[in-house]
Chains A and B, each alone.
Chain A
Amino acid sequence: MVQVSYGQSGAGRIWRRFRNHKLAVMGLAVIIMLVFCALFAPFIAPHEPTKIGKEFESPPSGQYLLGTDQVGRDVLSRLIFAARISLSVGIGATAIATLWGILLGLEAGYFGGITDMFIMRIADVFMSFPMLILIMVVSSIVGSGLSRIIFIMGVLGWPQVARLVRGNVLSIKEMDYTKSAVTLGFTTQRILFLHILPNTISPILVQATFGVARAIIMESALSFLGLGVNPPAASWGNMLTDAQSLTTLTERPWLWLPPGIMILLSVLAFNFVGDGLRDALDPKSIE
């Protein structure tokens, strides 16, 4: 076990290692760009994303840089606004899942016995569904929409995190520093959150970064199938839905290529950053 130091030197060392991973640095740049688009979408977008214009399916031109869609909305503006959807689903769902996973994983690992049995068997139940199918069923039933999708994916995503946390807690609770904290009579809460949690935070962070990538892919698949974010709100997934028609696919590539590329780029970016973080945070990795 390597002592985690919180000073400037620790963060600096992690950043130095992270920088060595070229793809991760590129991923970080893409993410920063996406966040920028999401935050300032109304200022960057040349048109209103839901405004119906006069020109239908016009190819890219000076006025509409990426052309217009079936009802004359500007594709570029919709693309920029959709960054908001993807990022909020990715980060929101992962945050909920990670929070739940941490709490339940800490409980299961630290208390053991019946608590552990109970929590992990429920985790087994949730992990034995194909995630996408379960989310499809739930969202077709409770209804789709942005906040619902975030909630459903967040609530169903906790078992992976819980397993990871539980495994780490099992080894950390045998460490001398945990035992001495118990001997000193600290409250369980304090031990769990101040002594155990900080020492398992790096794998959680790595897992969460990959989780964001997974959530973005899942949201776009759901929206693509019509069970996620619904039009007129723009999501990269639902922008691709209409490309299933043969004429769009053959004759209007500006309608389906850009949103597809955006999904690919953002998922790649989060996966690369996750990989870079894993290398950078791994105490075993060589400088």
Chain B
Amino acid sequence: MKNYIIRRLLIMIPILIGVSFVVFFIIHLAPGSPVDLMISPTMTPESRAALEHNLGLDAPLYRQYFTWLGNVIRGNLGYSFTSYRPVAEVIAERIPATFLLMGSAFVAGLLIAIPLGVASSLKPHSLFDYGATFLAFFGVSAPNFFLGLGLIFIFCIKLRWFPSSGMFTLGGGGGVLDAARHMVLPGAVLTINISGRFIRYIRSSMLDILHQDYLRTAAAKGVPFFSRISIHAFRNALLPLITLAGLEIPTLLSGAVVTEQIFAWPGIGRLTMDSILLRDYPVLMGLNMMSAMMVLLASLITDILYGIADPRIKYR
């Protein structure tokens, strides 16, 4: 197990270098320069050149890449072009907000999807099943910006129940309750998306299992219905679910970008959007590396959890 994890972590290194290579060249092959956005019309060509030199943008592209890579290996992600603060710091201060939002939505999504998915697998092709299927497809198909606007329209404008943007009330005392109130709507958007995906997964993986012999045996020896479903069947249905949950992480991150944009949630998603618009290359590189790393780690954790849920699997 330990060897397996170490090997997986080592495989991540070439993949991450590949990611950085692709993103770096895509970003820097752009026509124009980020300096265009920083200079004022009164700037002389000399001071412009000096600015480019300071930012390291005048070196040949491959040299810039290796300088960047060398710095990253030494733990330095560079400095933001716009705020001149270390990239690691800029990103780190945004991470908690995104994790809070994504994590809560993930948990809430599963809490909704598991009972619905299991229940609809118990009575396939019933009215309830069709309802759950429709809900699932709605959750997957509703674009989250439209969903977000709809929720703002109903709950902020018409009902005035929840605030529509930010994480804390301006000038307010802050605090957990305030953040929670702000999180309800963006969280709901992501929860609808996530539960939509999982209802289908859970339903189909439960359906595969419900006809297995061991469930008939369990019924024959008198195991009560509830523990038959929850212990015998669901534990086995969990396996494919874990893999799929891991595969959802990149989708979830993409969804967070749009959702954070609409609700002005101060997380990674908004930072991404801002640095794209301002062409803040170092921050953009840092963000891409971070999301790639998160995705890879998520898939590793997925595989480890898979091993825990299914004792038959041995990693070597």
Binding site for B on A (CB under 8 A): 23, 121-122, 124-125, 127-134, 136-138, 140-142, 213, 217, 220-221, 224-225, 227, 237, 240, 243-244, 246, 249-250, 253, 256, 260, 263-264, 267-268, 271-272, 275
Known A124-B15, A221-B145, A267-B143: A131·B250 in contact at CB below 8 Å: yes
Q: Give the complex CA separation of A155 and B143 in angstroms.
A: 23
Contacts of B142 in A (CB 8 A): 264, 267
Q: A124-B15, A136-B272 are in contact. Are A23 and B253 (CB under 8 A)?
A: no
Contacts A23-B137, A268-B137 given; does A244 touch B262 at CB 8 Å: yes
A130–B258 CB distance below 8 A: no
Q: B141 touching A264 by the CB < 8 A rule?
A: yes
CB contact between B258 and one of A121, A122, A142, A225 (< 8 Å): that residue: A225
B111 CB within 8 Å of chain A: no
Interface residues on B, range: 35 or more
Are A131 and B254 within 8 A (Cβ)? yes
In the complex, which residue of chain B has the Cβ closest to the Cβ of A210?
A: B140
Closest to B16 in A: A128
Contact A141 B27, beta carbon cutoff 8 Å: yes
Q: Which residues of A contact B152 (CB under 8 A)?
A: 249
Overall SS of chain A's interface:
helix
In order of increasing CB-CB distance, the 10 nearest A-B pairs are A132-B254, A260-B146, A141-B30, A130-B253, A267-B141, A125-B18, A268-B141, A130-B254, A130-B250, A128-B295
CB-CB contacts below 8 Å: B143-178 with A: 143-146, 149-150, 152-153, 157
Contact residues in B for A267 (Cβ distance below 8 Å): 141-143
Is B23 part of the contact surface with A, judged by Cβ < 8 Å? yes
User: Told that A127-B250, A129-B291 touch, could you supply 9 new A-B pairs with CB distance under 8 A?
Assistant: A129-B19, A130-B251, A131-B250, A132-B254, A133-B288, A240-B146, A264-B141, A264-B146, A275-B137
Cα of A222 to Cα of B152 in the assembled complex, Å? 20
Can you show 6 pairs from A to B with CB atoms below 8 A apart?
A23-B137, A121-B18, A130-B251, A133-B254, A264-B141, A268-B137
- Find out whether the CB atom of B15 lies under 8 angstroms from the CB atom of A133: no
CB of B14 closer than 8 Å to a CB of A: yes
Structural contact, A224 and B258, CB atoms closer than 8 A:
yes
For A130, the chain B residues whose CB sits under 8 A away are 250-251, 253-254, 257, 291, 295
Chain B residues with CB below 8 A from A240, complex form: 145-146, 149
A221, A240, A272: residue with the most chain B Cβ atoms closer than 10 Å: A221
Residues of A within 8 A of B277 (CB): 140
Digitize B125-137: 1 where CB-to-A-CB distance is under 8 Å, 0 elsewhere: 0000000011001
| Interface status of B273 (Cβ within 8 A of chain A) | yes
The residues of A that contact B273 with a CB separation of less than 8 Å are 136, 225
**How far, in whole Å, are A142 and B29 apart by their CA atoms in the complex?**
9
Instruction: Tell me the bound Cα distance from A145 to B291 in angstroms.
Output: 26
* Chain B residues, CB < 8 A from A124: 15
Bound together, the chains give a CA A136 to CA B291 distance in angstroms of 14
Would you call B153 and A249 a contact (CB within 8 A)?
yes
**Nearest-Cβ distance from residue B138 to partner chain A, whole angstroms:** 7
B22 in the interface (beta carbon within 8 A): yes
B223 at the interface (CB under 8 A from A): no
Which residue of A122, A224, A246 contacts B145 across the interface (Cβ within 8 Å)? A224
In the complex the two chains form, what is the Cα distance from A221 to B19 in whole Å? 24
Query: Which B residues between 77 and 123 are near A, CB-CB below 8 angstroms?
Result: none
* Proximity bits, B11-36, A CB within 8 Å = 1, else 0: 00011001100110011011000000
The answer on a CB contact under 8 Å between A137 and B137 is no
When distances are taken between beta carbons in the complex, the residues of chain A under 8 Å from B257 are: 130, 132-133, 136
Contact B276 A137, beta carbon cutoff 8 Å: yes
Interface centre among B22, B146, B255 (most CB of A within 10 A): B146
Contacts of B242 in A (CB 8 A): none
Residues of B within 8 A of A237 (CB): 143
Chain B min CB distance to A18 (Å): 16
Given known A-B contacts A23-B134, A136-B257, A128 and B292 have beta carbons under 8 A apart: yes
Q: Which of B27, B150, B288 contacts A129 (CB 8 A)?
A: B288
Q: What is the bound-complex CA distance between A124 and B17, given in angstroms?
A: 12
A140 to B23, CA, bound (A): 13
Most buried by A among B138, B152, B250, B272: B250
Pick the contact of A136 from B22, B276, B292, B295 — CB < 8 Å? B276
Decide: A272 near B258, CB < 8 A? Known: A221-B145, A250-B153: no
Decide if B143 touches A220 in the complex (CB within 8 Å): yes
Q: Which residue from chain A places its CB closest to the CB of B152 in the assembled complex?
A: A249
Check A122–B18 contact: CB distance below 8 A.
Answer: yes
B144 neighbours in A (Cβ, 8 Å): 221
Name B133's contact: one of A23, A122, A217, A263 (CB within 8 Å): A23
B253 closest partner in A (C-beta):
A130
Q: Within 8 Å CB of A217, what residues of B?
A: 141, 143
Q: Evaluate contact between A221 and B143: CB separation under 8 angstroms.
A: yes
- Report which residue of B141, B254, B284 has the largest number of chain A beta carbons within 10 angstroms of its beta carbon: B141
Give A275's nearest chain B residue, CB to CB: B137
Closest Cβ neighbor of A213 among chain B residues: B141
Q: Which residues of chain A are within 8 angstroms of B284 by Cβ–Cβ distance?
A: 137
Complex: A253 Cα to B157 Cα, angstroms:
13
Does B206 have its Cβ within 8 Å of any Cβ on chain A?
no
Q: Contact check, A129 vs B143: say whether CB atoms are below 8 A apart.
A: no
> Which residues of chain B come closer than 8 Å to A225, judged between CB atoms?
258, 261, 273
Instruction: Tell me the complex Cα distance, A95–B15, Å.
Output: 27
